[in-house]
A and B are shown apart, each in its own frame.
Chain A
Amino acid sequence: ETGVTQTPRHLVMGMTNKKSLKCEQHLGHNAMYWYKQSAKKPLELMFVYNFKEQTENNSVPSRFSPECPNSSHLFLHLHTLQPEDSALYLCASSQEFFEGSGYTFGSGTRLTVV
């Protein structure tokens, strides 16, 4: 257990479904991130939140909608996804502008869109 918890671990959804991924950290970090990891591609940064405010949206399609109600929780709401959205979605947290410890990642949600 890293201190960053992601649920669910696995998710299978149809293209017309709506689902949400959840990320929770109690490390006292003030920055949280969503990354997408597809086979044979580098990790893609999707969204960055600092102190609950979104500071980065890396040209992510609107079918992905992030939400950060407080500095400990981060959600990724999914709707009308495509099969190519199937991937491992990783959440991470860090202490902004404190370089000492890097990012702490959760174990990820393996998403399959059918």
Chain B
Amino acid sequence: SQQGEEDPQALSIQEGENATMNCSYKTSINNLQWYRQNSGRGLVHLILIRSNEREKHSGRLRVTLDTSKKSSSLLITASRAADTASYFCATAPYNTDKLIFGTGTRLQVFP
């Protein structure tokens, strides 16, 4: 069964605004990762947060993890048109090395 679900499914914002995407999952995890995919291309790893971490930053990205609620959020600050893409969360279930992906959020940033 599907491990991760992103919310919202689609998000449209203006350049300069912040974009927040949420992810929920079902089982205990080793870590949670966020990936980006431009249309019809491969996925690019953005950031990884371990199960014992609560928040992590990378440039304009901020990820939070709440293991008690089995949820994570990805915040992109000061968005740019080039941030337009689909964003996926992926979880590594406990004691496995395989990644299970969610359904993704399609982000559209208008200039």
Interface residues in chain A, defined as those with a beta carbon under 8 Å from any beta carbon in chain B: 2, 4, 6, 31, 33, 35, 41-43, 45, 48, 50, 56, 88, 90, 92, 94, 96-97, 99-108, 110
Cβ contact within 8 Å between B102 and A42: yes
Contact of B97 among A90, A94, A100 (CB under 8 A): A94
Contact of A101 among B45, B97, B99 (CB under 8 A): B45
A23–chain B nearest beta-carbon distance, Å: 11
Report the Cα distance A101→B104, complex, angstroms: 20
Interface residues in chain B, defined as those with a beta carbon under 8 Å from any beta carbon in chain A: 2, 4, 30-31, 33, 35, 40-45, 48, 50, 88, 90, 92, 97-104
Cβ contact within 8 Å between A2 and B42: yes
Cβ contact within 8 Å between A110 and B43: no
* Chain A residues within 8 Å of B104, by CB: 42
* Chain A residues within 8 Å of B99, by CB: 33, 45, 102-103
* Chain B residues within 8 Å of A97, by CB: 97
Report the Cα distance A77→B101, complex, angstroms: 24
Q: Tell me if B's interface is mostly helix, strand, loop or mixed.
A: strand
Cβ contact within 8 Å between B45 and A102: yes
Residue of A with least CB distance to B99: A103
Cβ contact within 8 Å between B43 and A105: yes
Cβ contact within 8 Å between A43 and B88: yes
* Chain B residues within 8 Å of A103, by CB: 33, 35, 43, 45, 90, 99
Residue of B with least CB distance to A108: B42
B72–chain A nearest beta-carbon distance, Å: 14
* Chain A residues within 8 Å of B97, by CB: 31, 48, 50, 94, 96-97
* Chain A residues within 8 Å of B90, by CB: 103
If A31-B97, A99-B31 touch, whether A105 touches B50 (CB-CB below 8 Å) is no
If A99-B30, A99-B31, A99-B50 touch, whether A45 touches B42 (CB-CB below 8 Å) is no
